[in-house]
Amino acid sequence: MNYKDMSEELAFNVLINRIYSKTCLDFSRYKRGYIKRRISGRMRAIGVNSYAQYLRYLEKNPEEYAHIMDSVAINVTEFFRDPGTFFAFRNEVLPEILSRKIGRKSRGEKVCGEAEKWRGNVLGSCDYGARSDCEKHDGDDGMRATGCVGLGVRREALRSGAERSGTERSGTLRIWSAGCASGEEPYTIAIILLEELGDNLGNLLVSILATDIDDDALKKAMQGFYQPFSLKNIPPNILKKYFHSENGGYRIKDVVKRLVRFRKHDLISGEKLQYFDVIFCRNVMIYFSRELQERLFMDFYNSLNDGGFLIIGKTETLTGEAREKFICVNVQERIFRKPPR
């Protein structure tokens, strides 16, 4: 094909279509500026300076398609990334779910989501329960904060322990880490569940599904071997309990690994998954167009059991129809709930 007379904009569109036809990755739904920056970075690295030239390069070097994926996917992650979010997961989300699944009463602890106070607290009890200056202890469930426009406060619904969806199974706990990168997020969730429920997992059938589009990231996740920098948030006792030290790094123990199932899945074109109690999709949709974000928020809504929780990244915002559908339960940690039936 002759790309010589094509404008750069047109060549970019052709490139996006070509990538889709060769790899099934649909970058037309990502933020255009973001995809351009990432692909341009790759082009600079191989000494190509126009999209037209890059199209020719791809024709001669089809193995280059694999590098595009590497350049576009940002896999930055770590264990207990944004500790306050996991603190809220353990102290606000889990008690609610466990009360429905196994009739377990909330531990009755007051909770405080201040990230800097998390150390020793995500995995233990909150030392700040008695503090009257803690935002979440003033009886309004942290809903004073703005940002939940149109969602309304349905605290009565949130507190009902008797809700049960027609679709969920009471003896199972299904969690989805969507865009799991190299596995730190789903393994963090598994560690919290083991700490909260003990080795027998409260007799629940626990399944954590972890998905991503990036093969290399998934491979690393399945290996479960990590360098110290991605474990810096983990207290020493937890590190010792759930990891083997090995060749200067750490390997996750089988007791954690067996709770997580990794699978390749594209949030944009993949099959619609269902019946989850909690979905984590953090720091993934920031790269997507607003239109796509709106669609995916509704996909997540439909993937959740009634009363299930959606947890998004701390810099992300719920948009579109989903704003009206979800109840915001922790604005600071971006935790939303599908109303219980």
Ligand X SMILES: C[S@@+](CC[C@H](N)C(=O)[O-])C[C@H]1O[C@@H](n2cnc3c(N)ncnc32)[C@H](O)[C@@H]1O
Residue partners of 286: CB distance under 8 A and separation at least 6: 313, 315, 316
CA atoms of 334 and 257, how far apart (whole Å): 27
Using the minimum distance from each CB to ligand X, give the nearer residue, 1 or 76: 76
Should residue 333 be labelled a site residue for ligand X when binding is judged by CB under 6 A? Answer: no
Work out how close the CB of 242 gets to ligand X at its nearest, in angstroms, rounded to a whole number: 18
Among 93, 134, 208, 284, binds ligand X (CB under 6 A): 284
Q: According to CB under 6 A, which residues from 160 to 199 bind ligand X?
A: 179-181, 185
Should residue 213 be labelled a site residue for ligand X when binding is judged by CB under 6 A? Answer: yes
CA atoms of 62 and 58, how far apart (whole Å): 5
Stretch that binds ligand X, among 111-119, 213-221, 229-237, 331-339 (CB under 6 A): 213-221
**Contact at 8 Å (CB) between 335 and 143?**
no
Should residue 299 be labelled a site residue for ligand X when binding is judged by CB under 6 A? Answer: no
Q: According to CB under 6 A, which residues from 45 to 64 bind ligand X?
A: none
Using the minimum distance from each CB to ligand X, give the nearer residue, 77 or 165: 77
In DSSP terms, which residues pair with 260 in a beta bridge?
Answer: 208
Q: What share of the chain is helix, strand, coil (3-state, %, to 5)?
A: 40, 15, 40
Burial string for 280-304 (b: 16+ CB within 10 Å, else e) reads bbbbbbebbeeebbbbbbebbbebb
Copy the structure tokens of residue 48: 């190509």
Work out how close the CB of 71 gets to ligand X at its nearest, in angstroms, rounded to a whole number: 11
Stretch that binds ligand X, among 137-145, 207-215, 227-235, 300-308 (CB under 6 A): 207-215
> By the criterion CB under 6 A, which residues form the site for ligand X?
73-77, 81, 179-181, 185, 212-214, 217, 266-268, 282-284
